Amino acid sequence: MTAGNLFADLPATQEAAERLETLLDRPGLRIERIVSTGQASPPGFWYQQADAEWVVLLAGEALLRFEDESEARRLRAGDWLLIEAMRRHRVEWTTPATPTVWLAVHHAQG
């Protein structure tokens, strides 16, 4: 059995890069813990993934922008959303004061 804690080993201060940890990887399914400390997508960069992604913000805050929307969405702890496959999106901002903890479930769109 594999086990862990989603809030273990969080950084005490802002780090240069996000932390990405794959918790489970199976055909058609990948679950990741992402810890941001003020990071955002590079200017002009958009994610466009072949798989759908269900994401929940467990701690912190973020602004998530979709290319087809005029405003970024503010996410707070407990907020979740489904990002359909190939939908262009980017992280505009994450709070630098405290870790922003994401749980991302990437799955084949069916």
Question: For residues 84 and 49, what is the distance between their CA atoms, to the nearest angstrom?
Answer: 9
* Tens-binned pLDDT, residue by residue, of the chain (110 aa): 689 999 999 998 999 999 999 999 999 999 999 999 999 999 999 999 999 999 999 999 999 999 999 999 999 999 999 999 999 999 999 999 999 999 999 999 76
Give how many domains the chain has, as a whole number.
Answer: 1
Structural domain of 50: 26-107
Tokens of 11: 């950084």
On whether residue 31 sits in a domain, the answer given is yes
Q: What pTM was computed for the model?
A: 0.93
Beta strand extents in the chain (DSSP E only): 19-26, 29-36, 52-59, 61-66, 73-76, 80-83, 89-94, 100-107
Written as one string, the DSSP assignment of 23-38 is EEEETTEEEEEEEESS
Look up the CATH number of the domain holding residue 92. Answer: 2.60.120.10
